[in-house]
Structure 1
Amino acid sequence: MSTKLDRRIKYTQMVLKESFMKLLKQKPLTNITIKELCELADINRSTFYSHYKDLYDLLYQIEDGIIEDMNQTLSSYNYTKNEEAIQMTEKLLEYIVKNSESCQTLFSEHGNPTFQKKVMMLAHQHLLKSLIQDKHFIPVNIEYLSLFIANGSIHLVQHWLKNGLKESPKEMAELMINLATKGLSSFQQ
């Protein structure tokens, strides 16, 4: 009986999340109502409240799940090797492609700027760890470099999502790593 109940709970949460993302794609969170969400998801309000306190709770749970997945991906690679940095970045971008609808919405103008900042800080922490291990950088500048690369990468991902993911994750990973390691010189002939 409990597995049947678990499946129903998972299904209800999935429908709520999908319906919420559809609404968030169309308008800002402040213009979405629980009534509207429940109608779209075809559930009643009491069911919504049995899973979430409010719309912000639902949003934060979606965001936290994505952050956790990204953190696990980033934690499984050795950053000191350029090949692994490209593989890690490619895996992250593949994750974004697989979850493109949610990511596109969360990284859009209707998305939560706090989420975008969390993603940037997560990338910054992992970059910082790799740059500290690389002896070619002056310690004082590492933090600035890491912030610069993380911010630029987030904006590249936002642009990539907004423009329909035309490049493959591998192409984007190579572009991002080349920009991070070689800067503008990677574009010179």
Structure 2
Amino acid sequence: MNKKLDRRKKYTRMVLKDSLISLLQTKQLATITVKEICKSADINRTTFYTHYKDPFDLLEKIEEEIIADLNTYLNQYNIEQEEESLQMTERLLAYIASKYNICQTLLNENGDHSFEQRVMDVARTFLINNWTDNNEMGTDVSEYAGTFLIGGSIYVIKQWLANNMDQSPEQIARLINSAKIR
């Protein structure tokens, strides 16, 4: 009986997330109502409120799930080794491709930039914590270089998503990894 409830709970959360993402493709978050989400998901409002406080809470949970996944991928590799760095980037891009609809919606030009900022913060923290000490720049310059690399990488990914992933994750990973600060 417990597994059945867990599956129902997972299904309900999945359709609510899908409904919100679908609505975000045409509307700003502030204009989306619980009623619209529920209608799209074919779920009643009481069920919505069992899982989330409001559309902002639902979006935050979607973003948190993606951020947690990104952290997991980032922490599996040693970026000081070029081959591992490339593998990490490829896996991140494959993950983004598997979540195309969500990532494209959250990173598009009409979206709230808080998700993009959260992604930048995660990547910047990871990069600074793992930055090789053998670079000739000081710590302050390394921080700027990291911001430059991360910002450029995010915009490459946004362009890739906007172009319906017209290149393979491997090709984009090679492009991103080829941009190194010397």
TM-score w.r.t. length of structure 1: 0.92
CA distance in 2, matches of 1:37, 1:17: 9
Flag structure 2 segments of 5+ consecutive residues without an equivalent: none
Equivalence map 1:85-124=2 (5 Å): 85-124=85-124
Contact 1:19 1:40 in 2 (8 A): yes
User: Which amino acid is 1:126 matched to?
Assistant: F
User: What's 1:163 paired with?
Assistant: 163
* Shift in Å, 1:53: 0.3
Alpha-carbon distance between aligned partners in 2 of 1:130 and 1:168, rounded to the nearest angstrom = 27
Give the partner amino acid of 2:134. K
CA shift, 1:68, in A, is 0.2
Checking the alignment, whether the CA contact within 8 Å between 2:145 and 2:181 is kept in structure 1 is: no
* Matched residue count: 181
In structure 2, the residue matched to 1:33 is 33
Q: Output the amino acid matched with 1:174.
A: R
Percent identity, aligned pairs only, is: 45
Give yes or no for contact 2:17–2:58 (8 Å, CA) kept in 1: yes
1:21 CA displacement: 0.7
Q: Which runs of 5+ in 1 are unaligned?
A: 183-189
1:13-47 Cα distance to aligned partner (Å, 9 max, x none)? 01101111111112111121111111110011111
CA distance in 2, matches of 1:150, 1:35: 38
Code of the residue aligned with 1:82 in structure 2: it is E
How many angstroms apart in 2 are the aligned matches of 1:53 and 1:26? 22
Answer yes or no: is the 8 Å Cα contact 2:128–2:143 preserved in 1. Answer: yes
Greater percentage in helix:
1
Aligned to 1:186: none
Which residue in 2 is equivalent to 1:135?
A: 134
Q: Secondary structure at the match of 1:26?
A: coil
Q: Does 1:15 align with 2:15?
A: yes
Instruction: Report the Cα distance in structure 2 between the residues aligned to 1:172 and 1:134, rounded to whole angstroms.
Output: 27
Q: Any runs of at least 4 consecutive aligned residues in structure 1 with deviations exceeding 4 A, and if so which? A: none
What's the offset of the Cα at 1:181? 4.6
